[in-house]
């Protein structure tokens, strides 16, 4: 796992890939701030059950989230990642958790409402909006926006992804980051497998986000799985025992200063 690259990298339109293995602690008694968040005793057991495949501490480190930040999550669903972000930004920060109507009506309304009722999530602002324009106009100067394994869904939702990415760009402050994780499709397949296999071609995501004015900053190997054949449905309901094992790319983009 890596934090931000050297400052010189910030001025580049594209930065080269570097390994993303989290640093080992100095001793067994040392735990990172992200590790402490994940280890919190009051996290729901249902969340803990997903940790092995999702690598939540690595995610918080990759986003670079810190106390007092303003961040947003696109298509928060039931709020697994939102709560981690809420814990990371603390009471002085704020997290905007966005969900479109389809997601709320199909599966998320009950778990999302229950999540927001938890005291640890009092700094979360519920945002019910469509992904084409995911954040209210008053939400500005964000430090980070997170899209965690949902970018492919925007394809079969019929989202105007150019508008979505432009809206994210506007909402971020200069130097703010846009972090996207998703399950990898075969190279060159574009959006073909977005609905059938719940995967998307990494290069397609890169191209679309760069077209919105972002610069590429960093990627990570933490979620990579070279053994994944990329020909099976990675959605939670279909993956079964393979849930959390798909080859996933993690990309960080920056709004130029």
**pLDDT tens track for 150-196:** 999 999 999 999 999 999 999 999 999 999 999 999 999 999 999 99
DSSP code of residue 21: P
Average pLDDT over all residues of the chain? 91
More confident residue, 16 or 199: 199
Determine contact, residues 162/208, Cβ cutoff 8 Å: yes
Rounded CA gap, 205 and 170, in Å? 18
Mean pLDDT, residues 231-256: 95
Q: What is the pLDDT of residues 50-89, one digit of tens each?
A: 999 999 999 999 999 999 999 999 999 999 999 999 999 9
3-state secondary structure of 219: strand
pTM over 0.75, yes/no: yes
Q: The CATH number of 11-254 is which of 3.40.50.800, 3.40.640.10, 3.40.50.150, 3.40.50.10860?
A: 3.40.50.150
Going edge to edge, which strands form the sheet with 172-183?
Answer: 124-128, 94-99, 70-73, 142-148, 172-183, 248-254, 215-220
Question: So what's the pLDDT on residue 237?
Answer: 86
Q: Please tell me the distance from the alpha carbon of residue 69 to that of residue 174, in angstroms, as a whole number.
A: 14
Q: For residue 26, is pLDDT > 50?
A: no
Quick count: other Cβ atoms within 10 Å of Cβ 13?
9
Distance from the Cα of residue 179 to its chain's centroid = 5
Using DSSP, how many helices (H) and how many strands (E) does the chain show? 11, 7
What pLDDT score does 29 carry?
Answer: 54
Whether 119 and 87 have beta carbons less than 8 Å apart is answered as no
């Amino acid at each position: 796992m890596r934090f931000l690259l050297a400052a010189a990298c910030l001025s580049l339109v594209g930065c080269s890939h570097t390994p993303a293995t989290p640093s080992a602690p100095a001793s067994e008694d040392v735990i990172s701030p992200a590790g402490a968040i994940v280890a919190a005793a009051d996290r729901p057991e249902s969340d803990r059950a997903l940790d092995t495949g999702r690598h939540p501490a690595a995610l918080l480190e990759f986003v670079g989230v810190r106390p007092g930040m303003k961040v947003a999550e696109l298509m928060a669903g039931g709020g697994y990642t939102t709560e981690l972000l809420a814990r990371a930004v603390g009471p002085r920060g704020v997290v905007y958790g966005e969900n479109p109507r389809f997601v709320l009506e199909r599966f998320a309304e009950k778990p999302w409402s229950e999540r927001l009722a938890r005291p640890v999530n009092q700094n979360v602002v519920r945002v019910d909006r469509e992904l084409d324009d995911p954040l209210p106009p008053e939400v500005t100067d964000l430090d980070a926006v997170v899209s965690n394994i949902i970018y492919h869904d925007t394809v079969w939702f019929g989202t105007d992804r150019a508008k979505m990415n432009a809206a994210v760009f506007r909402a971020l402050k200069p130097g703010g980051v846009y972090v996207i994780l998703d399950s990898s499709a075969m190279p060159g397949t574009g959006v073909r497998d977005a609905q059938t296999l719940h995967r998307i071609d990494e290069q397609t995501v890169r191209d679309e986000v760069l077209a919105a004015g972002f610069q590429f900053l960093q990627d990570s190997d933490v979620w990579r799985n070279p053994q994944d054949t990329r020909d099976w449905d990675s959605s939670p309901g279909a993956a079964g025992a393979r849930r959390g094992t798909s080859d996933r790319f993690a990309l960080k983009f920056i709004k130029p200063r």
